[in-house]
């Protein structure tokens, strides 16, 4: 286990996406000693994911919205004293007074031999989100990829999963994914959205206060028109066809509860499907430390945060999607606010009252919009009618909808944890990230589902040899 | 209008190199993940599941779902979407838990 010489740092920032970058740079510019940890080899997180430097991309901004904000942060990071540690996968955070210990695996996928422990007086969690999935017949077939995954593989690897790609699910990410795939040369025969976009109209005040969001939607909408992408709202992909890879999908109309309308299915030929139903805050590092959570408007668990981004655990801050999914501009504002707040707590720099007021106002306005959007894309209970008994719900452990229904209907399971104990759903490599929301819905039957608690004592899989090294050093064991 | 992702961003990558997938030669460009190199070669699956023996490949693309686990140079359970391809890598389809060699 390697400890760094310059420790403890004033602030460890976990995640180098928009929120983490903004927080790290703001805190360092106020005089704090900052370490910035991220699993990836590059800064930018998922939103500003980019080709490797060796790809020598002349126009990386072609796949991005708001690239200039990132370019500015990257320049300030290079000019700052922030120590950026790429390839660091944080698996746990522990508190050993007076500092926090951030435990990391290293390497592309965390499989390098040398684990690292970083110590800091404060921690800013900017760990972002992962995609929410709802299962349907055929969703495990090769060629079905997550919408965010298609976007990520395109942004960093410059590759597409097919030539004719249907984009489906729910949420604003789908617009961005469809327009990037089309701009990069894929044919996108349809964008299938389960909600009705008119649902936004129920929140006129949040919309009016955030005109840039409407402008962004117009840009995507125009791109979709130009590329001939047909928008089908209130519809879903309810089946994927093919034996070893995708050959076609069936798109079915939905009623207001997302229940398929009988006889409305239409087959669309394609060789890939990019699908997702919104985002889930990635908060297990925080829940393991006892941070309070709330259920957000979209039915996911998010961290409860104070006016200056501090979690319910003193000394632990969070910014961006961890406090509820809200997008890049909100993440930038919250990251900067948290960086300033940590500096104030640790007595660095001069108080910047006017900037704090401005950032808080901006954050509150964008949070209101995020809540409106989340409400518009919350899955309707009728999605469960998409499932056949032999549809895999848990991809890792290959647990079917039929076995989960048996656990609920015959064996009396009423929550995701009991379903897991009875069926192994959620017990595999991904620790319930892919099936968690779906299992929670199935377990709740007709009631409102409790969001999965996002409790994972290990945020990433940790080899026994690393745990053994912790045990050798009693003071650093979690 | 761009016809490929590389054209869209104006990429002029360093010279490509070869890796193998189940013995078949495929081309990768420096900095590309193993999963991206496989997708570029039209390969979408490189693992079979433990129970049903069903084919799987990259799904989430960001290291969260572990569907893209693959054997690289004899080491099983590597996430293809995270691991950078390196010249001469021997990538092989991972069957089941990937530990058949151990007899467990």
Task: Give the angle subtended at the CA of A116 by the CAs of A114 and A117, to the nearest 5°.
Answer: 155
Nearest CA distance, A60 vs chain B (angstrom): 5
Asked if the structure places residue B103 within a domain, the reply is no
CB distance from B41 to chain A under 8 Å? no
Q: Which fold has domain A382-478?
A: Arc Repressor Mutant, subunit A (1.10.10)
Per domain, the residue ranges of chain A are 2-130+280-373, 135-276, 382-478
Segments in chain A below pLDDT 70: 1-6, 198-201, 349, 351, 471-478
Phi, psi of A386 (to 5 degrees): -70, -25
pLDDT per residue as tens digits for the range B64-96: 999 999 999 999 999 999 999 999 999 999 999
* Domain A2-130+280-373 homologous superfamily, CATH: FAD/NAD(P)-binding domain (3.50.50.60)
Instruction: Identify the residue among A106, A158, A225, A395 best suited for mutation to test binding to B, counting B beta carbons within 10 A and taking the highest.
Output: A158
- Domain range enclosing B50: 15-96
Task: Give the angle subtended at the CA of A150 by the CAs of A149 and A152, to the nearest 5°.
Answer: 60
- CATH number for the domain that contains residue B84: 3.10.20.440
> Average pLDDT over chain B, rounded to whole?
94
Considering the domain delimited by A135-276, tell me its CATH architecture: 3-Layer(bba) Sandwich (3.50)
Between chain A and chain B, how many beta carbons pairs sit less than 8 Å apart?
172
pLDDT value of position A478: 39
Q: What is the rounded end-to-end Cα distance, in angstroms, of chain B?
A: 53
Distance CA A365, CA A359 (A): 10
Peptide bond into A98 cis (omega under 30): yes
pLDDT value of position A4: 59
Nearest CA distance, A124 vs chain B (angstrom): 21
* Proportion of chain A above pLDDT 70, given as a percent: 96
Total domains in the fold of chain B: 1
Same topology for domains A2-130+280-373 and A135-276, yes or no? yes
Q: How confident is the model at residue B103 (pLDDT cuts 50, 70, 90)?
A: low
Continuous segment of H or E residues that includes residue A441? helix A436-444
Name the residue with tokens 């391809």: B85
Strands (E), A277-363: 279-281, 293-295, 301-303, 316-318
pLDDT value of position A6: 59
pLDDT value of position A24: 98
Do B31 and B9 contact (CB within 8 A), yes or no? no
CB A140 to CB B66 under 8 A? no
Name the residue with tokens 């034996």: A243
Asked if the structure places residue B33 within a domain, the reply is yes
Nearest CA distance, A183 vs chain B (angstrom): 6
Residues of B (5-34) whose Cβ lies below 8 Å from A: 5-14, 29-33
CB distance from B52 to chain A under 8 Å? yes
Q: Are strands A144-146 and A165-169 parallel, antiparallel or unpaired?
A: unpaired
**ipTM surpasses cut 0.90:** yes
Instruction: Identify the residue among A15, A87, A153, A187 best suited for mutation to test binding to B, counting B beta carbons within 10 A and taking the highest.
Output: A153
């Amino acid at each position: 286990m390697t400890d760094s010489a310059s420790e403890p740092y004033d602030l460890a920032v976990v995640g180098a996406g928009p929120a983490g970058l903004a927080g790290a740079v703001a805190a360092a510019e106020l005089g704090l000693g900052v370490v910035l940890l991220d699993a990836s080899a590059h800064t930018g997180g998922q939103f500003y994911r980019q080709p490797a430097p060796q790809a020598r991309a002349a126009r990386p901004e072609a796949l991005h919205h708001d690239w200039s904000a990132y370019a500015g942060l990257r320049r300030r990071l290079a000019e700052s004293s922030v120590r950026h540690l790429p390839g660091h996968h944080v698996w746990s955070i522990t508190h050993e007074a007076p500092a926090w210990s951030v435990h990391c695996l290293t390497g592309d996928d965390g499989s390098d031999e040398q684990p690292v422990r970083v110590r800091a007086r404060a921690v800013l969690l900017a760990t972002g989100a992962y995609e929410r999935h709802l299962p349907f017949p055929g969703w495990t077939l090769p060629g079905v990829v997550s919408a965010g995954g298609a976007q990520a593989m395109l942004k960093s690897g410059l590759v597409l999963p097919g030539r004719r790609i249907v984009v489906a699910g729910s949420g604003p990410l789908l617009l961005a994914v469809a327009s990037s795939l089309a701009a990069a040369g894929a044919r996108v025969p349809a964008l299938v959205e389960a909600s009705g976009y008119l649902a936004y109209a129920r929140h006129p005040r949040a919309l009016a206060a955030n005109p840039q969001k409407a402008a962004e939607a117009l840009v995507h909408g125009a791109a979709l028109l130009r590329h001939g992408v047909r928008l089908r709202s209130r519809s879903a992909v309810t089946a994927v066809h093919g034996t070893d890879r995708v050959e076609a999908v069936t798109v079915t109309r939905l009623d207001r509860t997302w229940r398929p309308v009988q006889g409305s299915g239409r087959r669309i030929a394609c060789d890939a499907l990019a699908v997702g139903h919104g985002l889930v805050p990635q908060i297990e590092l925080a829940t393991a430390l006892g941070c309070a959570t709330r259920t957000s408007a979209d039915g996911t668990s998010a961290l409860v945060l104070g006016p200056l981004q501090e979690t319910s655990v003193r000394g632990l801050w969070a910014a961006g999607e961890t406090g509820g999914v809200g997008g890049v501009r909100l993440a930038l504002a919250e990251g900067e606010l948290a960086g300033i707040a940590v500096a104030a707590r640790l007595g660095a720099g001069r108080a910047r009252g006017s900037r704090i007021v401005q950032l808080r106002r901006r954050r509150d306005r964008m949070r209101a919009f995020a809540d409106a959007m989340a409400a518009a894309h919350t899955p309707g209970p009728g999605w469960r009618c998409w499932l056949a008994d032999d549809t895999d719900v848990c991809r890792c452990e290959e647990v079917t909808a039929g076995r989960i229904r048996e656990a609920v209907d015959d064996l009396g399971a009423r929550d995701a944890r009991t379903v897991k104990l009875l069926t192994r759903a959620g017990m595999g490599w991904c620790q319930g990230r892919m099936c968690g929301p779906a299992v929670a819905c199935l377990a709740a039957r007709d009631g409102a589902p409790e969001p999965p608690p996002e409790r994972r004592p290990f945020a990433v899989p940790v080899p026994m040899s690393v745990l053994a090294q912790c045990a050798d050093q009693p003071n650093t064991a979690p | 209008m761009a016809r490929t992702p590389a054209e869209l961003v104006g990429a002029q990558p360093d010279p490509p190199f070869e890796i193998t997938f189940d013995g078949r030669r495929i081309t990768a460009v420096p900095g590309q993940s193993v999963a991206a190199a496989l997708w570029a070669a039209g390969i979408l699956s490189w693992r079979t599941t433990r129970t049903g023996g069903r084919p799987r490949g990259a799904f989430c693309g960001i290291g969260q779902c572990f569907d893209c686990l693959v054997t690289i140079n004899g080491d099983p359970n590597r996430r293809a979407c995270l691991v950078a391809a390196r010249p001469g890598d021997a990538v092989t389809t991972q069957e089941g838990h990937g530990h058949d060699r151990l007899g467990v």
